[in-house]
Amino acid sequence: MHSEKKGVRVFAVAESFRKSTKNSILAGVVMRRDLVVDGVTFGRATVEGDDSTSAIIKMYQSLRRGDINCILLDGLVISMYNIIDGAAVSKSAGLPVIAITFEDSPGLEGAIKHHFPDGWQEKIKQYKKLGKRERVTLKTGKDLYIRAWGIPNKKAIPVLDAFTLQGAVPEPVKVAKLAACSALSLQTL
């Protein structure tokens, strides 16, 4: 992947939800390297469920595009512990996947055990399968924590740099978050 090329496109996915709702809203944005938005799609994931991976794969497939170079995920544990399998998304799409988070943490095992007292074993297994995060520093001087599939972490950094104008949030993720929040707010009108 040549992140310096103007025509490079990423598909970024972010979510928005309320604990009181059954589903979260997923928004996916295709953005070119020159920061032009080139596509949008939406999906749903069950709050506390296990369907986020399949939802993201369906969103990607719904675009029917052959020009996307990478998938960016705004986290891997969404919608109250609905865990995204980054390796499965990468394999299904045939593309590198980079998942980002913004804060270091000791992990979620304790929270998962507390939240799922009768079924935590499978959730912990899914969570551990994600592997460790690596702290990286962007050209903006801000740190991110990443996991990547289909691309070495070292090569993921230039991709993130190419799509980050300021701070730590890559522009495609920022737009996907805005779209997901807007779509969720429409549900309550």
Whether 1 is in a domain gets the answer no
pLDDT in tens, 67-77: 999 999 999 99
Is 27:14 a contact under the CB 8 Å cutoff? yes
pLDDT the model gives residue 157: 97
pLDDT in tens, 90-144: 999 999 999 999 988 888 998 999 989 888 999 999 999 999 999 999 999 999 9
The number of domains in the chain is 1
Whether 50 is in a domain gets the answer yes
- Structural domain of 80: 9-187
Whether 4 is in a domain gets the answer no
Whether 2 is in a domain gets the answer no
Round the average pLDDT of the chain to a whole number and report it: 93
Is 101:133 a contact under the CB 8 Å cutoff? yes
Q: What is the CATH number of the domain that holds 49?
A: 3.30.2170.10
pTM over 0.85: yes
Edge-to-edge strands, sheet with 143-149: 37-46, 23-32, 9-16, 70-74, 97-101, 143-149, 134-137
pLDDT interval class at 83 (50, 70, 90): very high
pLDDT interval class at 2 (50, 70, 90): low
